């Protein structure tokens, strides 16, 4: 909760005035000679120390102690208020502000109640517990004020904390599938009675989808990309295009008339005039122009040049890089133990990995680097989350222990002294 806003100003003024009033009452009762000249309290307001010479046993000391004990009980009820959200006893923000400022008010009240003395073993233990509770609470207040700024600067995208283990497993699965995609697949046994695959459903051998963009993965990297693999492949000539080219060629041959000077068998030869010859030549050239693109599109050499050029050395280097550095880092429970958790070392490592592979495989290296950067951000968010909530494991149990011992201290003081 932010403490530098206008909603906290009334509480600050109240705590300040209450502290000044408590100090004036303490000085007027136990050190009246230190009061300014002309300011004197009535005799019935002046208290005397108890027989044990402790300020806490006087009526004023008991008032200070009772107010502090009541604030301890109210501060403990904050946990109950967080559990029961439907309570209409003020908003949770008001409870939190009251919790902060009233517990800060207990600092002068407890010091004045003790008379600036530790006392016996019991009161010394109470003061030690109180110091632990207050220090841990102030530490948590500072963290809650500074942590949002830190997370905004160092985390470009924050993830739901409960989803972090799932996303980490998705990143590991993506890297594992990418490694398996570079390994040679075992030959499949074909069934002699199975129907042949349709040409429309055939896919080139090298068009394996990226692991992070597969349909069964839901990592942030996968959601930012399309479902099409990023393997560099050349689009083959489809069967429908070749069929259309052949149909165009046949149609052009039907439209074009016979060339002058070439007679069909069994046909009567008719002498042609110059005008007729010109018309036939124009029609023949038009037919040749129509049939030429279809003939070029159907050349078998274009399909051969469209095959993907694989690089076994680059794939072997990527498999080794994934198995030795990437997969252990992505599968680790604590990533800060690995050198890839260092951004500078990670950049140098991936820069060297790009130099070991061919140009067509460098996009894969960049994608692997994105996975490692995302894992580093998840580890940082986990670390900041632990910082933000770890102090509660000290503050909450010691607060309950302090409340119980304070109740015992009040019972002993009232009934045995």
pLDDT of residue 182: 87
Range of weakest confidence among 1-15, 85-99, 114-128, 282-296: 282-296
Question: Would the CA dihedral through 103, 105, 108, 110 be positive or negative?
Answer: negative
Burial of 4 (0-12, 13-18, 19+ CB in 10 A): exposed
| pLDDT surpasses 90 at 87 | no
* E strand or H helix that includes residue 59: helix 59-83
Domain boundaries of the chain, sorted by first residue: 6-156+392-416
What is d(CA 279, CA 256) in angstroms, rounded to the nearest whole number?
11
Calculate the average pLDDT of the chain.
75
Q: Residues 208-240: pLDDT tens digits?
A: 444 444 444 545 444 444 333 443 333 343 444
pLDDT of residue 321: 95
What is d(CA 329, CA 171) in angstroms, rounded to the nearest whole number?
11
């Amino acid at each position: 909760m932010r403490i530098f806003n206008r909603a906290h100003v009334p509480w600050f003024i109240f705590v300040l005035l209450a502290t000044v009033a408590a100090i004036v009452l303490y000085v007027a009762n136990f050190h009246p000679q230190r009061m300014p000249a002309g300011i004197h309290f009535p005799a019935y307001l002046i208290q005397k120390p108890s027989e044990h010479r402790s300020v806490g046993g006087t009526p004023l000391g008991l008032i200070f102690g009772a107010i502090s004990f009541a604030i301890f009980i109210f501060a403990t009820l904050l946990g109950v208020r967080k559990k029961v959200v439907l309570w209409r006893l003020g908003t949770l923000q008001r409870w939190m502000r009251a919790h902060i400022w009233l517990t800060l008010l207990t600092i002068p009240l407890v010091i004045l109640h003790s008379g600036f003395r530790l006392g016996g073993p019991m009161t010394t233990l109470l003061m030690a517990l109180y110091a632990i509770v207050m220090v841990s609470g102030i530490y948590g207040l500072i963290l809650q004020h500074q942590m949002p700024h830190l997370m905004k600067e160092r985390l470009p995208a924050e993830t739901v904390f409960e989803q972090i283990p799932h996303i980490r497993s998705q990143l590991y699965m993506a890297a594992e599938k990418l490694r398996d995609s570079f390994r040679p697949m075992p030959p499949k046994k074909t069934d002699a009675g199975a129907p042949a695959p349709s040409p429309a459903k055939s896919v080139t051998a090298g068009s394996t989808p990226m692991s992070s963009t597969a349909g069964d993965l839901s990592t942030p990297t996968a959601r930012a990309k399309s479902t099409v693999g990023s393997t560099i492949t050349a689009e083959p000539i489809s069967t429908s295009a070749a069929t259309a080219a052949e149909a165009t060629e046949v149609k052009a041959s039907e439209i074009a008339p016979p060339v002058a000077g070439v007679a069909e068998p069994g046909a009567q030869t008719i002498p042609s005039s110059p005008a007729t010859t010109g018309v036939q030549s124009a029609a023949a050239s038009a037919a040749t122009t129509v049939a030429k693109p279809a003939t070029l599109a159907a050349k078998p050499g274009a399909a051969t040049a469209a095959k993907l050029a694989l690089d076994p050395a680059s794939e072997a280097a990527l498999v080794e890089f994934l198995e030795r550095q990437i997969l252990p880092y992505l599968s680790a429970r604590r990533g800060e133990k690995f050198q890839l958790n260092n951004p500078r070392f990670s950049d140098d490592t991936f820069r060297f990995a790009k130099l070991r592979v061919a140009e067509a495989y460098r996009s894969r290296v960049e994608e692997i680097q994105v996975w490692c950067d995302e894992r580093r951000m998840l580890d940082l968010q986990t670390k900041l989350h632990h910082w933000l909530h770890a102090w509660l494991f000290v503050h909450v149990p010691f607060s309950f222990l302090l409340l119980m011992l304070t109740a015992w201290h009040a019972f002993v003081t009232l009934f045995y002294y």
